[in-house]
Amino acid sequence: MKENPLRKYLRKGSLPHFFCSGCGAAQVLNYFVRAADEIELDFDRLVAIGGVGCAARIPIYLHAEVLHGVHGRTLPWATGIKLHNPKLKVVIFAGDGDAVAIGGNHLIQAARRNLDVTMIVVNNLNFGMTGGQAAPTTPQGLKSTTTPYGNREKPFDICKLAMTAGATFVSRWSTASGIQAIKAIKRALQHQGFSLVEMVCQCPTNFGRRAISSGDPIKGLEWIREHSVTEKKAKNLTEQELSRRFVLGNFIEKSEPIFEGSSIYQQGGE
Amino acid sequence: MEINHRRVLTGTHFMLGNNAVVEGALTAGCDFFAGYPITPANEISERMAERMPQVGGKFLQGEDELCSIYALTGAGLAGAKAMTATASAGFNYMQEGIGYAVASEIPLVIVDVQRCRGENFATQADVMQMRWGASGDHELIVLAPSSVQELFDYTIRAFNLAEKYGTPVVVMSETTIALMREKLVIPEPGAIEILNRKKPDVPPEDFVPFRAGPDNVPPLPDFGEGYRIIHSLNPHDEHGGIAWDPDVFETLYRRITHKITENYDDIVQTEDYFLDDAEMVIIAYGSETRPSLDAVRRARSEGIKAGLLKLITIWPVAEKQIRAIAESVGIILSVEMNLGKYAGEIERACSGYCELRRVTKNRGLIHTTNEIYRAIKEAAH
Query: Residue A84 maps to which CATH number?
Result: 3.40.50.970
With 50 as the cut, is the pLDDT of residue A132 above it? yes
Cβ of B60 and A106 within 8 Å?
no
Instruction: Please identify, among B155, B176, B191, the residue that sits at the C-terminal boundary of a domain.
Output: B191
For residues A205 and A215, is the Cβ–Cβ distance under 8 A?
Answer: yes
Q: Which residues of A touch B60 (CB under 8 A)?
A: 79-80, 83, 261-262
How are beta strands B108-114 and B141-143 bridged, if at all? Answer: unpaired
Domain that holds residue B306: 269-380
Nearest CA in chain B to A46: B224
Cβ of B241 and A14 within 8 Å?
yes
* B208 belongs to a structural domain: no
Which of A9, A74, A77 would best serve as a mutation to test chain B binding (most B beta carbons within 10 A)? A77
Both B285 and B148 in one domain: the answer is: no
**Is A257 part of the contact surface with chain B (CB cutoff 8 Å)?**
no
Both B304 and B185 in one domain: the answer is: no
Both B166 and B21 in one domain: the answer is: yes
- pLDDT at position B4 is 57
CATH of the domain at B319: 3.40.50.920
Query: Quick one: pLDDT band at residue B351, thresholds 50, 70, 90?
Result: confident
* A68 belongs to a structural domain: yes
* B241 belongs to a structural domain: no
Backbone angles phi, psi at B105, to 5 degrees: 60, 55
Instruction: Please identify, among B148, B164, B191, the residue that sits at the C-terminal boundary of a domain.
Output: B191
CATH of the domain at B53: 3.40.50.970
For residues B86 and B38, is the Cβ–Cβ distance under 8 A?
Answer: yes
Q: What is the mean pLDDT of chain A?
A: 96
What string of DSSP letters covers B168-232?
A: EEEEEEEHHHHT-EEEEEE--GGGS--------SS-GGG--TT---TT-----PPTTSS---EEE
- pLDDT at position A1 is 79
Q: How far is B345 from chain A (nearest CA, A)?
A: 31
Q: Which residues of A touch B67 (CB under 8 A)?
A: 73, 75-76, 79, 106, 109
Peptide bond between residue A155 and the one before it cis (omega within 30 degrees of 0)? no
What pLDDT, in 10s, does the model give residues B15-24?
999 999 999 9
B/e letters for A74-111, b = 16+ CB within 10 Å, e = fewer, are bbbbbbbbbbbbeebbbbbbbbbbbbbbbbbebbbbbb
Alpha-carbon distance of B151 to B145, in angstroms, equals 5
What pLDDT, in 10s, does the model give residues B111-121?
999 999 888 89
* B219 belongs to a structural domain: no
Cβ of A65 and B97 within 8 Å?
no
Nearest CA in chain A to B65: A76
What pLDDT, in 10s, does the model give residues A176-225?
999 999 999 999 999 999 999 999 999 999 999 999 999 999 999 999 99
* B5 belongs to a structural domain: no
What pLDDT, in 10s, does the model give residues A30-88?
999 999 999 999 999 999 999 999 999 999 999 999 999 999 999 999 999 999 999 99
Structure-derived torsion over alpha carbons of residues B113, B118, B119, B120, reported in degrees to the nearest 10: 10
Give bridge partners of residue A118 from the DSSP assignment: A91, A195
- pLDDT at position B117 is 83
* A9 belongs to a structural domain: no
Instruction: Please identify, among B130, B159, B191, the residue that sits at the C-terminal boundary of a domain.
Output: B191
Q: How far is A105 from chain B (nearest CA, A)?
A: 8
Q: Using alpha carbons only, what angle is made at residue B227 by residues B198 and A187, rounded to the nearest 5 degrees?
A: 135
* A260 belongs to a structural domain: no
Both B52 and B163 in one domain: the answer is: yes
Classify burial at A53, counting beta carbons within 10 Å of its beta carbon; exposed 0-12, middle 13-18, buried 19 or more. buried
* B314 belongs to a structural domain: yes
* B349 belongs to a structural domain: yes
* B253 belongs to a structural domain: no
CB-nearest partner of A77 from B31, B74, B232: B74
- pLDDT at position B118 is 81
Q: How far is B55 from chain A (nearest CA, A)?
A: 9
* A266 belongs to a structural domain: no
* A215 belongs to a structural domain: yes
* B229 belongs to a structural domain: no
Nearest CA in chain B to A88: B224
What pLDDT, in 10s, does the model give residues B238-272?
999 988 899 999 999 999 999 999 999 999 999 99
Cβ of B70 and A76 within 8 Å?
yes
CB-nearest partner of A80 from B73, B100, B227: B73
- pLDDT at position A268 is 60
What string of DSSP letters covers B340-379?
A: SSTHHHHHHHHTTSSEEEEEE--SSSPPPHHHHHHHHHHH
**Is A69 part of the contact surface with chain B (CB cutoff 8 Å)?**
yes
Both B164 and B36 in one domain: the answer is: yes
Cβ of B70 and A63 within 8 Å?
no
For residue B107, which amino acid is it?
A: P
- pLDDT at position A269 is 54
Q: Which residues of A touch B200 (CB under 8 A)?
A: none
* A2 belongs to a structural domain: no
Mean pLDDT for the stretch of residues B209-218: 95
CB-nearest partner of B70 from A65, A80, A87: A80
Domain count, chain A: 1
Mean pLDDT for the stretch of residues A143-169: 97
Helix (H), strand (E) at residue A224: helix A217-226
Alpha-carbon distance of A126 to A101, in angstroms, equals 11
Nearest CA in chain B to A84: B75
Q: What is the mean pLDDT of chain B?
A: 96
Q: Which residues of A touch B103 (CB under 8 A)?
A: 69
ipTM exceeds 0.90: yes
Both B286 and B183 in one domain: the answer is: no
Return the beta strands (E) in A127-225 as ranges.
169-174, 195-200
* A7 belongs to a structural domain: no
Q: How far is A82 from chain B (nearest CA, A)?
A: 8
For residue B58, give the DSSP letter: E
How are beta strands B355-360 and B331-336 bridged, if at all? Answer: parallel
Nearest CA among A251, A254, A48 for reference residue A161: A251
Domain count, chain B: 2
Collapsed DSSP state (helix, strand, coil) of residue A188:
helix
- pLDDT at position B1 is 47
Alpha-carbon distance of B104 to B230, in angstroms, equals 9
- pLDDT at position A265 is 87
With 50 as the cut, is the pLDDT of residue A245 above it? yes
Alpha-carbon distance of A85 to A83, in angstroms, equals 6
Domain that holds residue A51: 18-253
Cβ of B71 and A77 within 8 Å?
yes
* A11 belongs to a structural domain: no
Q: Which residues of A touch B222 (CB under 8 A)?
A: 85
- pLDDT at position B5 is 81
Cβ of B100 and A69 within 8 Å?
yes
Both B166 and B310 in one domain: the answer is: no
Give bridge partners of residue A229 from the DSSP assignment: A247
Both B20 and B168 in one domain: the answer is: yes
With 90 as the cut, is the pLDDT of residue A26 above it? yes
With 50 as the cut, is the pLDDT of residue A153 above it? yes
